Amino acid sequence: MLVSIIYLLIVVLLLVSMWKVYKKAGRQGWEGIIPIYNLYVMLQIINRPWWWLLIMIFVPIANIIFSIIALKEFLEKFGKGIGFTIATIFFPFITFPMLAFGDDQFKNE
């Protein structure tokens, strides 16, 4: 029971964080919490073509590489480097709230 409550709290924290991160990026908050669509929006934010989404969904091994590249480029828009990207891969429940509730600003360059 306790594990289920902790899991639910982590899921809610990640949903709220994604909402706020996408708002910081100049998008609607709900776009950050809809599965698959949030990837499409992320690709728009980092100016990558729509067909990357197909690779990220359907092509084994390449999907991991493309997802990491997309995440890295997305986090760079907030001034974050490769270290933060690696931390986000392994600990998104820590890094996304840091990005959402921290002072980091979106830089569309």
pLDDT of residue 108: 84
Angle between helices 2-24 and 37-45 (to 10 degrees): 40
Global confidence as pTM: 0.93
pLDDT greater than 80 at residue 35: yes
pLDDT of residue 103: 95
> Above pLDDT 90, what percent of the chain?
98
- Which residues, 6 or more positions from 10, have their beta carbon under 8 angstroms from its beta carbon? 93
pLDDT band at 24; cut points 50, 70, 90: very high
> What's the average model confidence in pLDDT over 54-77?
97
pLDDT of residue 109: 73
pLDDT of residue 21: 97
